[in-house]
Amino acid sequence: MKAGWVDFKTIKDTVSIEQVLAHYGINWLRRNGDELRGKCPIHPKAEGERSFHVNLEKNLFHCFSCGAKGSGVLELVAALDNISIREAGLKLQNVFVVRQGSGEKRSAAGPRKDSKPAEKVKEPEVINPPLTFQLRVDSSHEYGLSRGLTKETLEEFGAGMCISKGTFAGRFIIPLHDEKGSLVGYAGRSIDEKEPKYLFPASAHGFHKKYLLFNLHRVAKKSAFRGPVIVVEGFFDCMKVHQAGLACVGILGSALSQEQEDLLCEYFPRGVVLCFDGDSAGRSATEDCITRLVRRVFVKAIFLPEGKQPDMLTAEELQKLLAFEEGGRNENRHA
């Protein structure tokens, strides 16, 4: 490799965010599934003991206090050291001694005696395999009704209080399906704000939510649907918009994965209408999605007032806010 040459692709393929955090001694982040949360290491004076989030599966980081965010190890190192992406690439090559095209990595200081060489985690050949069982739910539980959903909507989605024994017992669960309609998992929502707020199946069992768009299979099977589709963050947002009679999918959080982006563009070539939460995370997610999607499809963005979420609005408010008129394509358009 020539001096000064940066092999960005190999760096992204071989160096993980977890390795970078360990190298910088950032060991105070608490893990919850595929996410790490804690005090921001980029701007230590940023407020909040849990403001800094790292999504290990989607390879994203975001501080909801200072606003720092990015995708991948290059942007993280650039933010930590306040250097350019190229300088970050050179540093990563030197620290982890990335061999161009080899897919191998090791620490520049050599492996510790009490540790094994880090290996890249390989995803299973079958992503999100269909479940061989179904959990029993009580769709009439007051929690779902308190979120503005009718019993009919909850039954349609199969959502409700889990009355089966096991991991999700005592949680409000929402079935997860792939684009073909196969049941591939459940999300369990805590009803008493107990951490974690949402519980997902373990990735070790082949589950990866970055490959899913919530409610995609219902919208996709409607042959008469022409789009655009409304895109929201969460389950309850999506169910509430669906209940109002509008086609909607959810991205299961405030970060759009590359796989979800591809699904949106494949299934909804006529475009998307973004309607994320009215907070800093929602606004950041909106801007990120606009930047990425506008190159491929028509994009319209709806910005909700501070503190508002789609599931807080009435059916009439949602229909008025999100109704899409063919003749109004220029309104809020990003191109």
Give the lowest-confidence range in 22-26, 281-285, 328-332: 328-332
Which has the minimum average pLDDT: 219-233, 292-306, 321-335? Answer: 321-335
State both tokens at 92.
Answer: 């990563």
Prediction pTM value: 0.63
Contact between residue 301 and residue 332 where contact means Cβ atoms under 8 Å apart: yes
Segment 257-261 long-range contacts (CB within 8 Å, at least 24 positions apart): 257/57, 257/58, 257/210, 257/211, 258/210, 259/210, 259/211, 260/210, 260/211, 260/212, 260/213, 261/292, 261/293, 261/296
Burial 130-148 (b: 16+ CB within 10 A, else e): ebeeebebebebebbeebb
258-296 pLDDT, tens digit each: 999 999 999 998 899 999 999 988 999 999 999 999 989
Residue 72 near residue 49 (C-beta atoms within 8 A): no
Which of 49-63, 140-154, 188-202, 253-267 tops mean pLDDT?
Answer: 140-154
Q: State mean pLDDT over 130-136.
A: 93
Picking from 112-121, 136-145, 257-266, which range would have the lowest pLDDT averaged per residue? 112-121
Q: Range with the lowest mean pLDDT among 103-107, 222-226, 305-309? A: 103-107
The pLDDT score that the predictor gives to residue 163 is 95
pLDDT for the residue numbered 333 = 39
Decide: 233 and 250 in contact? Cβ < 8 Å: yes
DSSP string, 245-268: T--EEE-SSS---HHHHHHHHHH-
- Provide mean pLDDT across the span 314-324: 86
Residue 151 has pLDDT above 70, yes or no: yes
More confident residue, 328 or 261: 261
Range scoring the smallest mean pLDDT among 24-28, 42-46, 221-225, 240-244: 221-225
pLDDT at 256: 92
pLDDT value, residue 204:
64
pLDDT of residue 226: 63
Q: Would you call 253 exposed, middle or buried from its count of C-beta atoms within 10 A (0-12, 13-18, 19+)?
A: buried
